[in-house]
Structure formats: C-alpha cells, structure tokens
Chains A and B, each alone.
Chain A
Amino acid sequence: MSKPKVAFFDFACCEGCQLQVANIGEPLIDLLDIVQVVEFREVMSEKWDGEFDVSFIEGSITDEHAVERIKKIRERSKILVALGSCATIGGVNGMKNSFPLEEVGKYVYGESYKFFPTLQTKAVHQVVPVDYFINGCPIYQPEFITVLKCILQGIPYYVPEYPVCVECKLNENVCMYDRGLTCMGPVTKAGCNSWCINNGNICYGCRGLTINPNTEGFKEVLKKYNIPEDFLIKKIEMYNKCKELD
C-alpha cells in the first residue's frame, strides 16, 4: 500500500505552526515512514499537481485570492486539517474584524489601499469544510502527532471540551493567580497539556474559548483580583474575534 500523500499550505499566518512540524525532532523519522510529504513550501521545493490524501492548512482566509485558493485545495484534498489558531479560529488575524475594512486598508497601504482589496478575517472552516482541528499558537507538537495518527486510522479526534486548568492542575503547577498574574487557563480549550504554564508563562488563550465558558463567572473572579473587565474582553478578542462569524 502506498503511503498517504500529505501536503502543507499557508495562508495569512506567521508559518510558525509549520515550523513546529519541521522542528518536531526524532518522531519525524517515524512520521516519514507512514506518510509521504508531497508539498511543504517551508521545507522543500517540490510541488504536487495531483490529489492530496491529507492537506494541512495554516493561516486564516483574508482576501478573495485566498478564498479561491482554499476552495481549490479543498477540492483536491480527501481530508483537510486546520493547523494552528489562525486556521482553526482565525487567531490574531481576527483582530482586524474590530475595525472597518477601509480603515484597516489605509493603515497598512496608505492611499493605495484600493489596489489591495481585503475581506474580514475568517477561520478555514468558515470558508470550506474542515475535517480535523489542531489548535494552538503555535500548535503543540504531541497533539499534532496524535491528530495525524487519528487521521491515518480513520477515526475522529476530539479536542478536549474543558479548560486548560484541568491539565494544569494535573501537572501540579502553582496557579498563576497565586503568583499575582492573570491567566486565560480557566476559559481556554485544553489539549496543550498546559504547555505555557509548565514553562512558567501564563496562558494567552491561544486555543480559543472552551465550549460553554462561564465568562460572567470569570468576570466575577477577575473582580476579586482587581482586574478590570475590559482587560478580559481584550484578551478574549485577541484570539476569538472570528467566532462572531461562526
């Protein structure tokens, strides 16, 4: 049996999630035993003009060209995976949606903005159907491997429907609030094994809000720590702005 053909594509993003894949280390050798990478601009110059078994999409969709391109990739792909926050939830690119498009265009391109038509930022699933989601900014390498194994087995991958606190507590980290810091762990989707907090950083909420978050309750918690409410709103909007378009 020939190995499944895998490709990586980037849209509006920093390409950091693809870098995480390229930088996965030792497991890469075993990974290449079970898949054939046919297109991956960041690490190779070869292209593929046939069908893809699995396409990984990094980045969000921000203009008409991107819409056309992602639709074509979708048509050529049996399975399409959103890779990283920009692709899964719009990510930081979503902050653009807080402003009128004209204002955004002028800010970046000055008066020639009319030559660069732009759209509201969308996550990949808001344009074409997506089969698997790998959250994170950047993605968490062990989760990437887990999802890839699910894809190759033909089974679904369920992103944990609970907050980062669950994993963080099991890792016995000192709570960031005990250290006097504000952390997005309580309202952010888990699956990263509280990667940032394990390494002494706060959670920025890069994986997006967990399902059914108690944002009102969280505001009350922040009040107790004298943290202003709009601080939370800004933190949420940093990654979750595109949710409004769902």
Chain B
Amino acid sequence: MKIEQYKLLEKSLLKDFINSLIPIANVYAPVSKGFNNYVFQNIKSADEVSIKYIPTIIPPKKFFLPKKENILQFFIEDELKVEPVTEYENLIIFGVHTCDIAGIKCLNMVLSDKPKDTAYLIRKKHVTIIGIECNDYCDEYASCSFVGAHMPTTGYDLMFTELSEYFIVHIHSSKGMDIIEKTDIFKDASIAQLEELKILRNNKMKIFNNEIPTERRYLPDLFDRSFNANVWKELEQKCLSCGNCTAVCPTCYCFDIKEEVDLTLKAGERYRVWFSCQLDPFAKVAGGHDFRKERSARQRHRFYRKFRYHIDRYGMVFCTGCGRCSRTCMAKINLKEVLTSLIRESEAKIWRKWL
C-alpha cells in the first residue's frame, strides 16, 4: 500500500463527487427499480444513485458488449459497399462491485484472445470504472469469496471503500488520477486511514467465508468426475430454458449475428445480439440436428463453461460469485446448491470405490 495512491473523501461529499463526473462523460450508476432490483443507468444527478445495492439485473458487461451492436453497414446500390462499424462512447461507470470487475476481467481475457475483438478493445479504452467495495455480503446468493472476487485487486480506475468517517479511494490508473485532480474535494490519506483499511480487510476475511464446501483448486477434478452426474438430470425437470441465467451472467459473451435492411431495401446493417446456450436454437445446425437438445445438457454446459473449460484455456474460473443466475432463476436453480450437490454426489462415488 503506497500512501500516495490513496485519497480521502468526506462521506457527505460523495454526491458532490458523483455530480462532478457528470460534465466529464456519460455517467452510469446503479439506480433502484423497486422490488430490490437495480439497473446501471445513465444518471443526470447523484440523487438517482443507490450507493448500497445488490447486483444489478444486467451486469456492466452491457457497456463492453452491447446487447445489440452494429458491426457492419452495407449499401447495395449498383455495387455492394461494405463498411465496418465500431460504436463507442466515453463513459464512466460508478459504483461497480468487485464481482462485476472480476467479470470484466474475464471478458478482457477472452476478447483479447485471438481472434481479437477489436470493437470490444476500442470500447474498453473509453470506459472508466469506479468501484465501490462491499464490506459485507449483498445477500445469501453471493459466492464471491469462493471465487476470490470479494476483495479489490485490479481492473478498476478508482476504488471507493467506506471507512468509519471517510471513503478511502484507491487510485489505480492515470485515468483515475485525472478524475481525482479535476476536483479539490479529496484530501490526502494518512497512515491512520491506511491502518483502518487494513483492519477492515482483515475483518472481511471473517465475514466472507467460502460459500461452497470445496476449494477452487479442486474444481477441475470435481468436474472431470461429474459429466454424467445425476445433478444434471434433476435440472432437466426444473429448467425452463428462459436464458435468464446467461443473460445476467457477467462472463457470458455468446452472441448471434443478424442482418437487417432499411425500408429502401438498398442499405442495411449487420449486428450482433446476445445469445444463450440455454435456448433451443443455440446448438441447432443445418438439417435440424441439435447438439444439446436436453435442458440438462444445456445447464451442464453452462456450469462447465464457468468452472471447467476456461480453467484449461485461461487458468481462470469464469464465475464471479455475483449470484445473479440464482437470484433471477424462476425455477430456483441455485448455483451454490448445484455445486454442493455435485460435491456430495462425487464424494459418495469416491467412497463407494474405496469400500
């Protein structure tokens, strides 16, 4: 902890700080929609913002991978003209939790892998991320400690942590520094506040306990043993294939490509839209063959995409523990419970072998 990387903000000045961002760029922050639902929304005043919130309906991935994104314009007058399109805006996302920052890090990993997603990488450069640290669990669905996303590490420009009297702000990039320097409401941090921050983080270790009865490093083994587990068969009955779990997942990035012409029928655009492995047409190919016809196979695929395949390819777990999939599931398919059942079933199998 280098003291010059930290600044202090009086708690009463937080709204002033948010308001100071609004002239700089489009500011998006968590806004309450009622019924304990929140959305990252464009704000015009700090009064709209919910500082304390549970994860939003859709994570901030929507700013990096828009739900609908034009990628090509074409004109079919005498000859075909095609132009690639990259859409981006300068924006600041305020109030991002560490789980969602972990999600963006996962997306960065995949989309900067070959073939690089240029539009994504351009857009990313124009986004400033201001985080807010969670000092306690948002609710019972979170499993951020299991995946190690409950502590701020990297992936943000500024990180706000609430101490007893101040917000302590970690400056993690020059973009973050520029924002701090635009106002004069920040004070220098002193050793005392850094100490308080250390104590707070130590305390968090007690509050945030591993939510799953195993450790991350055992995941590959667990999943290698579980491809034919009964747990998946039970999901066949439950899952409605509504695709909510993947839509709200910070690390799901699958998309479909479509085209639409305008009413002249002579010009149009090619765009991509979010798509989901949970939906019927996803794995359907020519001739009507479907690689994952059963809902159980689709759910299994989702879990392997979070906890197995990406460990091999990127050395990362692709779950951020945000709990959105469980919170949103109509059929109450709960990620923590599914993992726990998998562990139980796998343990029972191992014991049977021994006895």
Contacts and interface: CB of A to CB of B under 8 A. Distances in A.
Interface stretch (A93-101, A112-120, A174-182): A174-182
B241 A214 contact: yes
B39 A220 contact: no
Question: Which residue, A172, A211, A214, has most C-beta atoms of chain B within 10 A?
Answer: A172
B279 interface: yes
B242 A166 contact: yes
A153 B331 contact: no
B244 interface: yes
A172 B265 CA distance: 32
Nearest to A176: B35
25 contacts: A30-B264, A31-B263, A33-B264, A162-B243, A163-B242, A165-B243, A165-B244, A166-B247, A166-B279, A169-B57, A169-B242, A170-B247, A172-B33, A172-B56, A173-B57, A174-B35, A178-B36, A179-B35, A186-B242, A212-B241, A214-B241, A216-B237, A220-B237, A220-B238, A224-B332
Contacts of A179: 35
Interface in A161-215: 161-163, 165-166, 169-170, 172-175, 177-179, 185-187, 210-214
A9 interface: no
A34 interface: yes
A149 B263 contact: yes
B121 interface: no
A22 interface: no
Nearest to A145: B263
A236 to B, nearest CB: 14
B280 A212 contact: yes
A156 interface: no
Interface string B227-242: 0000000000111111
Given A161-B280, A170-B67, A177-B330, A221 B265 contact: no
B34 A174 contact: yes
B260 interface: yes
Contacts of A16: none
Contacts of A213: 240
Interface in B246-268: 247-248, 260-261, 263-265
Contacts of A224: 332
Interface of A is mostly: helix
Given A146-B260, A166-B243, A172-B57, 5 more contacts: A153-B261, A153-B265, A162-B242, A166-B276, A172-B33
A34 B263 contact: yes
A174 B37 contact: yes
Interface string B322-351: 000000101110000000000000000000
B265 A220 contact: no
Contacts of A110: none
Contacts of A217: 237-240, 331
B150 interface: no
Interface string B9-43: 00000000000000000000000011111010000
Contacts of A34: 263-265
Contacts of B39: 172
Given A169-B243, A217-B239, A224-B332, A161 B263 contact: no
Contact of B58 (A162, A172, A178, A186): A172
Identify the 8 closest CB pairs spanning chains A and B, nearest first: A165-B242, A30-B263, A162-B279, A169-B247, A174-B37, A178-B35, A172-B57, A166-B243
Nearest to B241: A214
Contacts of B241: 162-163, 212, 214
A226 to B, nearest CB: 14
A221 B331 contact: yes
B281 A27 contact: no
Interface residues of B, number: 35
Nearest to B274: A170
A152 interface: yes
Nearest to A215: B240
A186 B39 CA distance: 21
Contacts of B97: none
Contacts of A174: 33-35, 37, 57
B58 A169 contact: yes
A145 B263 CA distance: 8
A33 B281 contact: no
A214 B240 contact: yes
Contacts of B242: 162-163, 165-166, 169, 185-186
A220 B333 CA distance: 12
Contacts of A185: 242
Q: Pick from B263, B265, B274 the residue with the most CB of A within 10 Å.
A: B263
A186 B280 CA distance: 13
Interface in A29-58: 30-31, 33-34
B105 interface: no
Contact of B263 (A33, A162, A178, A187): A33
A74 to B, nearest CB: 26
